[in-house]
């Protein structure tokens, strides 16, 4: 997964994030810890499947490039 930060930057202007919140927000409700933003979760899933990497790898790479 090369330059994942660039993928985030490019996709941020193209995605309809409010629609993801409406459709998926209920799945990211807090249980014990505070909920993560829907945009973050959708973005990580997008990168995971787009680059065919594991959950652990996409999180590691996101942490390396987090803003």
pLDDT tens profile 3-38 = 555 666 676 778 888 888 888 877 777 777 787 888
In angstroms, the CA 21 to CA 49 distance is 20
Helix (H/G/I), strand (E/B), else coil: 54: coil
Higher pLDDT, 51 or 9: 51
Quickly tell me which residue has 């193209």 as its tokens.
Answer: 14
**Lookup: tokens for 46:** 């997008």
Domain count of the fold of the chain: 1
The parent domain of residue 15 ranges over 4-65
Question: Which pLDDT score, from 0 to 100, does residue 24 have?
Answer: 84
**Lookup: tokens for 40:** 């973050």
pTM of the model: 0.62
């Amino acid at each position: 997964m090369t330059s994942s930060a660039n993928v985030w930057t490019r996709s941020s202007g193209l995605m309809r994030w409010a629609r993801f919140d409406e459709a998926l927000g209920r799945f990211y409700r807090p249980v014990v810890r505070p909920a993560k933003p829907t945009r973050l979760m959708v973005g990580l899933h997008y990168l995971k499947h787009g680059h065919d990497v594991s959950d652990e790898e996409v999180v590691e790479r996101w942490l390396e490039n987090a803003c």
